[in-house]
Chains A and B, each alone.
Chain A
Amino acid sequence: MRARVSSALAIAVFLLGSLSGAQKLAEPVKKVATDKAPTSAPGKAPVPSAAAVQPLRPKLAIERFTLDNGLRVVLNPEPTSPTLAVVVWYDVGSRNEKPGEGGFAHLFEHMMFEGSAGVPRGVHDKIVEGRGGKLNASTSEDWTRYFELMPSSELPVTLFLEADRMKSLQVVEDAFENQRKVVQEEYRMRVDNAPYVKGYFRLMELVYEGYHPYAHPAIGSMAELDAAKLAWVQSFHKRWYGPNNAVLVVAGDIDVEQAKTLIHKYFDGVAKIPVPSKELPPFAGRTTPTGPEPVMDPNARTGESLLAWSIPPDHTKEHYALEMAAAVLTGGESARLKRKLVKDLSLAQDIEANTEDHRGPDAFVITAQLSDKAKFEDVEKAIWAEVDDLAKKGPTDAELRKARAKVEHAFLFGLQANLSRAMALAKFEGHNGDASLLKSEPDRYLEVTAADVKAVVAKYLVREKLAHVRVMPTPKPVTAVMKETK
C-alpha cells in the first residue's frame, strides 16, 4: 500500500515522526502564541480560536538519575499500554570517524548483534523475539542508538541484554566479514540504486567545505567499508561504548522503583571507560557560493535542485527561527513553496525545506524535485523569489499561526508511542544534558516571532553563501557483465 501524507513538517523531526495513534495523558500549558486566529463562516464547523483555547501538551513523567559509573538514566512511566521501549543511546556517530574510516560507526552498530562473551551470536535476536519483542538500531552523524520494544513484563531481560553488550563484545572474523558484506549490500540499496541520494551526498560535501564530521555520510563509502578491519571492533567498543558515554531510557508501563532496582542490578557492574574528547573542530561556515554543480544520476528521471546553507547548531535560538522558516516555506500544503511550485506553477513534483538538526554546525536544505518539463532556472528563480520575500517582509500572521499549529500538533501527536518518546528523551538527555527539556521544547518554537524568522532568513539564506547541486537524470547505462564484489 502506498501511503502519502500531504506534507511533512521539518520541525517535527525532533519528535521523531509517528503521527499515528494517541493514548497519552495531556495537559493544558501556558499559551505562548497570541496571534489572532481565523474564525469560521456562519453555520460552518467552528475552528477554535487560538486565543480561546490553551494548547495541549502530553503529560511527560520524567525521572532522571546517574549511576556511579556515569550512565545517565531516564525513566518515563506511562501505563496506558502494557508495553515498554528501551533505548540505549551512545554518544558516538559518524562525526567521530577519522578520514578513511567513514561508515565504521555504522558497521560497528551491526557488530553489537554479533555476540558478546555472555550471549552468543544470533541469540540476542532470538531472546527478544522469543519474548514477543522487536529490536533494531540506527546510526546517525551524531549518535548511535539501540532499541527494544517489549511487553512490559520483559524489562529484566531487556536490561540484561543491553548491559551485557555494553560490557563486552566477542566478534569473530566470519561475523565481521559477513556484516561487511551486509552493509555493502545496504549501501547498494540506499545509495547506488536510490534516486537523488548521491546528489544529496555531494551537497553535504559542498556545504561543509571539507569539514569532515558532517561532510561525509554516515554509511561511508564502499572503499572505506572495504578497508575496515576486525581489529578496530574491540578498540571502538573500548573507546566509545561505556556507561559514561551512554544514555539509557525506559519509557512505558513500568514501576519506577522496580526499574531502578533492575537498572542498578544490571548496569552497576559495567566499568567506566576513558571517553576521548568529543569537541569538534571549529567551522566558520560557508563564506562563498559554490555551484550549481551537476551530479549525474542514472536512477533519477527528472532533475532535482538542491540548495544548502550552513547555519548554527540545533537547539540554538536562531536554529528555532530557521526551523519555523522551513515550516513557512514547505510545512503543509498551503506553505509558500509547495503552493507556488507544486500546486500553482507545476514546476516541481515536490519540494521540502528543512534543517539537518546536527548538534554541531548545521545546514538548511531546500530540495525541489522537478516536474517533467520544468527547467532548473525557472524552479530556482521561483524559490529565490519566496526566500527573498521572506527575508524582506517576514512571514505573515497567518503563516506564523499555521506554523505554530503544526508545532503544537507535532508535539502532541508525535510523542504518543513509547518508542517515539524514548528516542526523543534519549536525544535530549544526550545532546542537551537534560531530558526534561523536552517538555518545554514547543515553547522554543512558539516564542519565535515574525521578526526572528525574517532576520535569520536574511542572514543565512543568501546567495553569497549558497551551496548548490543540480541532479541531472542520465540515460540508463549500457548493460555490462558484472562480477561479484568481494
Chain B
Amino acid sequence: MKRLRATRSLTLAALLMGCASNPPAVPPTPIAVAPVQTPPEKKTAPAPMADVPPPGQPKPLKPATITTTVNKGIKTIAIGSPAIPVVHCRIVVRAGNASASAAVPENKRAGLANLVAELLKDGGAGRFAPRELADRVDALGGDLSVEVGPDRAVFGLAVTRDKLEAALEVLGAVVSKPRFDAGEFNKLKARELDRVRQSQKGSGSWIARSAMYRELFGATHPYGDFDANDQSLEAITLADAKSFYQKLYVAPNVTVVVAGDFDEKVLRAAVDKYVTVPDKPAPTIAWPTPKSTETRVVLAKKPGSNQADILVGSLAIPRSDARWPELALAVQSLGGGMSARLFTDVREKRSLAYSTSAMTRELAHGPSVVALYAGTQTPLAPKSVGALIEHLGWISASKPVETGELTISRTSMETGFLFRLETIGAVGGLAIDQVILGLPGKDVYEYVNTYRDALHNASLEGVRAIAAEKLNGKGVIISVAGDVSLASSLRRYGPVRVVDPEKAFATVEELSYDPNAPLEVGTK
C-alpha cells in the first residue's frame, strides 16, 4: 500500500541505516527533567511550567527466562515467557553482505548474501517445493521473513505455541536443505536486479548510503558494499550462490533464537531434528583496517532531483571499545532525538530539512560508523552540508556537550531499552544483536544492565573527549545523492568525485577542492 500518512518526523533509524544501534536499555534511573524555559506571556489560563509533574520512580523490568545450549555446534538461545502463547523463531547466520569475500571474487560480492538468503526462502527446501513451502508458511498464518545486513542473515517465522515444531521444520529446511533450483535462481536474480535498479534510480537515501560505505571502507573492503549493484548481480551465478552457502552456512555461524511460550523439550528436539547444517569450521575472513583519509565529497548523480540526501560519515571506534557508551551519548546529544542539536537547529531553527539526525552503525569487525543525515531541497544542499559540518565542529570543540544535554541523552538511552524489550519478540531481536556484535554478558539482560551502568557512569569529560576525537569533522566522507548541478558548490568542502549509481558507482567526473566555491548551486 502506498498510502501517504504524513507524520511529524520520520523514524530516523529506518530512514538512515536500517537496524541502527539504539542505545541499549535498562531499568531507568530517575533523572531530573531538563531545564525548562520561562513561559511566554499567557493569553489563557495555562498550566504554568511550575506545574510540570516531577519525574516518577521507574519500575524494574521483569526479565524472561533465558537458557543457552550448544548441540552439534549450533547454539540455541531459548527465551521463555508464558505470558502469551506465541513464539518467535529466528535462525541467524553470520552470512551477511560482508561475508561474500569468503566465497567469490570482488566483482561478484555485492548482493550475493541477500540473493542467497532470498533463494533459500523462495527456492524450495528439503521436502518442500517452492509452492509447497509458500503454502505451508501461509497455512501457519505467519510470514517467512528474511533480513540481511552487513554481518548477518536472519530468517524468521512467528507462530502460535502449538505450531512451534511446524515453524522450526520450515525454518530448518530453509537454512539446512535448500534446493538451489536453477529456474528459481534465475527468476529471483531477475527480481533482485529490478529491485536494485529501482533503488539506483529512485532512492536518494539508498544511493547516499551506498556511496558513503564505498568511500569510507573502499570498494574492495568487506564493508564497502552496502547493498548490491546491477553489475555485480549480473555476474553472480548459481555456482557462486552454492559456494557462498556451503562455506558460510555452517554450525559455528548459526544460532537459533526462540522467544516466547514453548515447551523446552519440544524446542530442543525440533532444533536437533530440523536445523542440520554441517558442523565444520567457518571460513576465515580478512578484515583489513580501513585507511583514514582527508575529507572528501562523493556526489552520486540523481539528475533533476529537487531534493538531496546528505550523509556526513566517518569511521569511529569498534563496538567493543570501552569508550562506546561515551560515543553513543555524544551522538545522541548531537542528533539522537527531537530534543537533540540537529533536530532543534537544522530543522526547527534553520528550516533546512524535514529529516535530520545523527547515529551510529554498529559493525561486528573493526571500526563502526557514525553518520549525520539531512534531506534538503537541492538549492540548500551546500548550506546544509555546511550546517552538519558546523555541528561537528561545535560538539567536538567550541560548543561541547553540556550537562543538561547529557542528562537528557543518558535518560533517553537508558530508558530506551524498556521499549526495545517491551515484547518478547523484541528481546529475541536484541539477543541476535548480542550474538552478532559479540556484546558482553551471559544473556541479553546482563548485557543491558552492564551497558546501562556504563551509560549512567559516563562522565561529561569522557563524552566531550570522545566527541573531540571522533566527531571532529576531520577525514569525513560527505556523500550526497542529488543533482549534478551541486558538484561545483560542494567543492568548498573537499575534492568532489561525481559517480553514477546506475553504473556501479563508476566515477564520471572529479573536481578539485575549492574552499571559496560559492554556495549557490550551479554556479561555476
Residues of A within 8 A of B (CB): 1-10, 13, 19-26, 38, 40-41, 44-48, 53, 56, 58, 80-83, 103, 106, 109-110, 113, 115-120, 122-123, 125-127, 129-140, 149, 151-157, 160, 163-164, 167-168, 170, 177-178, 181-186, 188-197, 200-201, 217-219, 253, 266, 298-302, 331-335, 339, 342-343, 346, 349, 352, 354, 356, 365, 367, 371-372, 398, 401-402, 405-406, 408-409, 412-413, 416-418, 476-485
Cβ contact within 8 Å between B36 and A127: yes
18 A-B pairs with CB atoms under 8 Å apart are A1-B18, A1-B147, A20-B158, A45-B165, A58-B84, A81-B422, A117-B43, A117-B44, A137-B7, A140-B5, A151-B59, A157-B55, A160-B51, A160-B53, A186-B354, A354-B1, A412-B160, A478-B303
Q: How far is the CB of A40 from chain B (nearest CB, A)?
A: 8
Q: Point out the residue from A118, A139, A300, A416 that lies within 8 Å of B46, measured CB to CB.
A: A118
Cβ contact within 8 Å between A117 and B39: yes
Cβ contact within 8 Å between A416 and B5: no
Residue B479, interface by CB 8 Å: no
Cβ contact within 8 Å between B303 and A346: no
Q: Point out the residue from A41, A113, A335, A481 that lies within 8 Å of B138, measured CB to CB.
A: A335
Cβ contact within 8 Å between A132 and B60: no
Residue B256, interface by CB 8 Å: no
Q: How far is the CB of A460 from chain B (nearest CB, A)?
A: 18
Residue B81, interface by CB 8 Å: yes
**With A109-B6, A170-B40: A23-B204 Cβ-Cβ less than 8 Å:** no
Q: Which 6 A-B pairs have the closest CB atoms?
A: A21-B423, A132-B415, A153-B56, A118-B46, A21-B425, A477-B304
Q: Which residues of B contact A10 (CB under 8 A)?
A: 1
**With A20-B426, A301-B201, A479-B483: A56-B19 Cβ-Cβ less than 8 Å:** no
Residues of B within 8 A of A (CB): 1-9, 17-19, 27-28, 30-31, 33-34, 36-40, 42-49, 51-53, 55-62, 81, 83-88, 114, 121-122, 127, 130-131, 134-150, 158-160, 162-163, 165-166, 168-169, 187, 190-191, 193-195, 197-198, 200-204, 227, 259-261, 270, 274, 302-307, 337-339, 343-344, 347-349, 351-355, 375-380, 407-408, 411-412, 414-416, 418-419, 421-429, 483-485, 521-522
Which of A125, A372, A478 lies at the interface centre, i.e. has the most chain B CB atoms within 10 A of its CB? Answer: A125
Q: How far is the CB of A328 from chain B (nearest CB, A)?
A: 11
Distance A406 CA – B139 CA, assembled complex (angstroms): 8
Cβ contact within 8 Å between B147 and A3: yes
**With A129-B408, A333-B138, A482-B522: A118-B39 Cβ-Cβ less than 8 Å:** yes
Closest to A333 in B: B134
Distance A133 CA – B305 CA, assembled complex (angstroms): 36
Q: Which residues of A contact B60 (CB under 8 A)?
A: 82
Q: Which residues of A contact B19 (CB under 8 A)?
A: 1, 3
Q: Which residues of A contact B42 (CB under 8 A)?
A: 117-118
Q: Point out the residue from A38, A129, A332, A346 that lies within 8 Å of B134, measured CB to CB.
A: A332
**With A46-B165, A156-B56: A218-B4 Cβ-Cβ less than 8 Å:** yes
Q: How far is the CB of A31 from chain B (nearest CB, A)?
A: 14
**With A2-B114, A2-B148, A4-B147: A188-B377 Cβ-Cβ less than 8 Å:** yes
Q: Which residues of A contact B303 (CB under 8 A)?
A: 476-479
Cβ contact within 8 Å between B421 and A81: yes
Closest to A115 in B: B40
Distance A118 CA – B28 CA, assembled complex (angstroms): 28
Distance A218 CA – B7 CA, assembled complex (angstroms): 10
Closest to B483 in A: A479
Cβ contact within 8 Å between A476 and B6: no
Distance A25 CA – B86 CA, assembled complex (angstroms): 10
Distance A406 CA – B137 CA, assembled complex (angstroms): 10
Closest to B27 in A: A82
Which of A21, A116, A186, A485 lies at the interface centre, i.e. has the most chain B CB atoms within 10 A of its CB? Answer: A21
Q: Which residues of B contact A186 (CB under 8 A)?
A: 6, 354-355
Closest to A201 in B: B4
Distance A13 CA – B5 CA, assembled complex (angstroms): 13
Closest to B205 in A: A189
Cβ contact within 8 Å between B353 and A185: yes
Q: Point out the residue from B81, B138, B143, B169 that lies within 8 Å of A23, measured CB to CB.
A: B81
Distance A394 CA – B18 CA, assembled complex (angstroms): 40
Q: How far is the CB of B247 from chain A (nearest CB, A)?
A: 22
Cβ contact within 8 Å between A80 and B62: yes
Distance A176 CA – B58 CA, assembled complex (angstroms): 36
Q: Which residues of B contact A110 (CB under 8 A)?
A: 8
Cβ contact within 8 Å between A109 and B8: yes
Closest to A117 in B: B46
**With A25-B84, A81-B61: A129-B412 Cβ-Cβ less than 8 Å:** yes
Cβ contact within 8 Å between B339 and A129: yes
**With A164-B46, A300-B198, A371-B190: A219-B4 Cβ-Cβ less than 8 Å:** yes
Q: Which residues of A contact B484 (CB under 8 A)?
A: 479
Which of B2, B44, B61, B169 lies at the interface centre, i.e. has the most chain A CB atoms within 10 A of its CB? Answer: B2
Q: Which residues of A contact B377 (CB under 8 A)?
A: 184-185, 188, 482, 484-485
Q: Which residues of B contact A160 (CB under 8 A)?
A: 47, 51-53
Cβ contact within 8 Å between B169 and A44: yes
Distance A145 CA – B273 CA, assembled complex (angstroms): 48
Q: Which residues of B contact A19 (CB under 8 A)?
A: 142-143, 158, 425
Distance A477 CA – B193 CA, assembled complex (angstroms): 23
Closest to A401 in B: B139
Q: Point out the residue from B6, B48, B134, B304 that lies within 8 Å of A218, measured CB to CB.
A: B6
Distance A427 CA – B281 CA, assembled complex (angstroms): 53
Q: How far is the CB of B270 from chain A (nearest CB, A)?
A: 7
Which of B4, B40, B160, B200 lies at the interface centre, i.e. has the most chain A CB atoms within 10 A of its CB? Answer: B4
Cβ contact within 8 Å between B166 and A45: yes
Cβ contact within 8 Å between A349 and B195: yes
**With A130-B34, A301-B201: A157-B52 Cβ-Cβ less than 8 Å:** yes
Q: Which residues of B contact A3 (CB under 8 A)?
A: 18-19, 145, 147
Cβ contact within 8 Å between B56 and A479: no
Closest to B355 in A: A189
Q: How far is the CB of A13 from chain B (nearest CB, A)?
A: 8
Cβ contact within 8 Å between B1 and A47: no
